[in-house]
Amino acid sequence: MVASVGQAIGPCAFSSLAATREWLKTDAARRFMRAYRKARAWLLATPAAQVAEASFFPEIARPVLTATIAYYQKLGCWTPHVEITRPAFEVALDVFQHSKLITKRHRYEDVIAPPPNAG
């Protein structure tokens, strides 16, 4: 790693999920979110070497992957909550606007829906 973007900009809504508001009301959405919450908790609670062992990135050297995972776990980029907070959303807008990938700021209420309860 040359530089840590996560450290420079702080929590940002980049690791986000997209779904229709209709789908979010379904049992499938609740089951998916239950599994997603468990996966996030596992990622945060499991030693980096063990996370790297389950990697979907076989082309990345294991020591590099382990060090990167450990760094991101320590940095706090991966939060235990799955909700997109307003501050994280605003930082994402800052990044997209700075990169000229959006031409206007969108309202949080217009694009963010609360995730379904695990049920």
Question: Could you read off the pLDDT of 4-20 as tens digits, one per residue?
Answer: 556 666 666 666 788 99
For residues 110 and 21, is the Cβ–Cβ distance under 8 A? Answer: no
Over residues 77-105, the mean pLDDT reads 88
CA distances from 54 to 47, 49, 68, 86 (A): 11, 9, 14, 32
* 63-83: pLDDT as tens digits: 999 998 998 888 877 778 888
Over residues 41-47, the mean pLDDT reads 92
pLDDT at residue 70, rounded to an integer: 92
Q: How far is residue 32's CA from residue 15's CA, in Å, rounded to a whole number? A: 16
pLDDT at residue 49, rounded to an integer: 93
Q: What is the largest CA-CA distance in the chain?
A: 43
pLDDT at residue 95, rounded to an integer: 87
**Domain ranges within the chain, ordered by starting residue:** 20-111
Instruction: Show the tokens assigned to 17.
Output: 């999920």
Does pLDDT of 53 surpass 90? no
Does pLDDT of 119 surpass 60? no
